[in-house]
Amino acid sequence: MRSPAFPIVLAVILVLIQPCAAQTKSKIIPDDWLPALAPSIQSALDQLKNANSQMEMNLLSRQIADMTDAQLFVAYVRLYEKLPAKDRAALVAEQEKWLKARPKAAAAGVESEGGSLAPLEANNAEVTFTEKRLKELRARLKARPQKDN
- Domains, the chain: 54-149 (1.20.1270.180)
Q: How far is CA 121 from CA 41, 76, 100, in A?
A: 17, 25, 19
Residue 125 in this model has a pLDDT that exceeds 90: yes
pLDDT at 109: 96
pLDDT at 25 (0 to 100): 55
| Cα–Cα distance for residue pair 95/137, rounded to 1 Å | 10
Closest by CA position to 37, among listed 1, 74, 77 = 74
* Average pLDDT value for residue range 39-64: 94
Residue 40 has pLDDT above 80, yes or no: yes
* Chain mean pLDDT for the chain: 84
